[in-house]
Amino acid sequence: MLNMEFALGSDGQQRLEDYLERIGKVLGDDHRRASFATYAIGLLGDGERKSMEPIAARACADPHRVDAEHQRLAHFVSNANWRDEEVRREAAAYGLEALTKREPVTSWIFDDTGFLKQGNHSVGVQRQYTGSAGKITNCQIGVSLTVTTPTEHLPIDFELYLPESWTEDPARRQEARIPDEVQFQTKPQLAIAMLKRAAAAGVPPGTILGDSAYGHSSPLRRACRELEFPYAMGVLPTDRVWRLEPRGRRIDDEPVAIEDFAIGLGRGAFRKTTWRQGSKVPLSSHFAMERVRMVQGDGIDEGEPEDVWLLMEWERGESAPTKYHVLWRPPTSGRRLTRKQAVRIVKQRWRTERVYEDLKGELGLDHFEGRRFRGWHHHVSVALACFAFVVAERVRAFPPSAREEDRARTQSGETGTPLRGLLHHRTPHDRPRARQMASPLPLLSPSPAPSQIAPSHERPLIWCSCAQGRFNVTPVTQ
């Protein structure tokens, strides 16, 4: 049974109750509703380990029923047939409703993060590069979509990247219960699917951001243009472009590699630009921006030109430019971007790192110990739903008058601002360079001692203690 006390105040308790009811309508079945609430509050709580077994142990008042509660959660997460897309869509709508009352959506960010693993049985695991470790290591990779406003960020979707070593191996597919319709997709292809889902769900549009792993993909850039979503994504030094005249005509007969084009401009073409205040000094580098036409390497008709602004960065102390981004806006978007505006846009991508820190350090995103495809996605869906509730509570804690102050704090890169009724949980001990999270979580007190709670067979199985009399469901007998 579940009995967790939330120090949210009566209004916060009512919002939590209403939110659980809202997600529960999507899940439908009473047992799923109860299991979702147990698991969600386990992720929101202050337990150090947030996998199924410790969540069941903390949630169950009767030690003799912990194993049964664990089995119930394991079935809900790993086997139950509920749709991740519907739960994530409802959670995103809830979070965005709170965010957009205060300020508009400015960007959608595609990125990926690693889930470090031991052994080779967890679905999707293999030795591969992940920025989470900064090296090639044994891990899973999750591709994410995060929506941001000037001061907040909300992850709304995730997909597990399945290498061909999994999609082309029938025995591994069967072991991990990978659906027949799931075939190998590159990370940009997963991003395209999430882009189209979010657009179809009516998520407010923003500038699409991503590093060169995503910006190098001309199909992804084309999908953005078809939806008329502006983008500012990294590209590779070896990607090729044509120089353009002011009227849009190609200057050269042959395209050139972006790196060669940038070097040819000379250091004098790069101007110092500051994009935000760092913790100690302003963050700045040297940039140049030129109009170019991308060379399409995937068979796109030459009659479909991709004219973009190429933003090139020459970092201090380097002998040549080091980073490249292409920016595109719909023709109806109005005036052209200035160099400073372009720099500030592309530098917003760093915010996904804060999202991953929050999800992993506070909500147990990387604590899932199951091995199945469905279980990984179900676990991530509950974590995303928890994040949506947390960010909505954070936004409500700031009145509209604090908007400019909050934006200034985001621009300066500050993290971990304690608020009344919110706190920072312990920093994870197993993460290098652990930092305080950017969006503090609601204060959650530990579970009451078993002696303070009636045995579970004497009390109905409920969503949470604040929901008594409203969300009671029939007790589950094992």
Confidence at residue 429, expressed as pLDDT on a 0 to 100 scale: 35
The reported pLDDT for the residue numbered 303 is: 58
The pLDDT, as a whole number, for residue 123 is: 96
Whole-angstrom Cα distance, residue 472 to residue 34?
A: 9
Per-residue pLDDT of 236-267, as tens digits, reads 999 999 988 877 788 877 899 999 999 999 99
3 pLDDT higher than 80 = no
Average pLDDT over all residues of the chain: 82
Structure confidence at residue 334 as a pLDDT band (50, 70, 90): confident
Structure tokens at 353: 């790192």
| pLDDT for 405 | 54
The Cα 471–Cα 245 span in angstroms is 66
Confidence bin at 8 (pLDDT 50/70/90): low
Element (H, E) at 389: helix 373-397
More confident residue, 96 or 335: 96
For the cut 70, the answer to whether the pLDDT of residue 465 exceeds it is: no
Model confidence at 421, in pLDDT bands (50, 70, 90)? very low
Report the pLDDT averaged over residues 301-327: 89
Closest CA to 285 of 335, 322, 234, 330: 322
The partner residues of 207 in beta bridges, in order of sequence, read 107
Q: Domain 85-353: give its CATH code.
A: 3.90.350.10
Distance CA 138, CA 133 (A): 10
Answer for the pair 478, 80: CB distance below 8 angstroms, yes or no. no
Residue 281 is given by DSSP the state S
The model's pLDDT over 79-113, given as tens digits with 9 standing for 90+, comes to 999 999 999 999 999 999 999 999 999 999 999 99
Report domain extents, the chain: 9-84+372-467, 85-353
Distance CA 10, CA 15 (A): 9
Q: What is the pLDDT of residues 438-458, one digit of tens each?
A: 233 343 333 333 333 333 333
Residues whose CB is less than 8 angstroms from the CB of residue 165 and which lie 6 or more positions away in sequence, other chains included: 126, 172
Residue 418 has pLDDT above 50, yes or no: no
> Model-level pTM?
0.83
- Strands 107-116 and 207-210, bridge-based pairing: parallel
Residue 193 phi, psi (nearest 5): -60, -45
Span 356-371, average pLDDT: 92
Tell me the pLDDT band of 404, cut-offs 50, 70 and 90. Answer: low
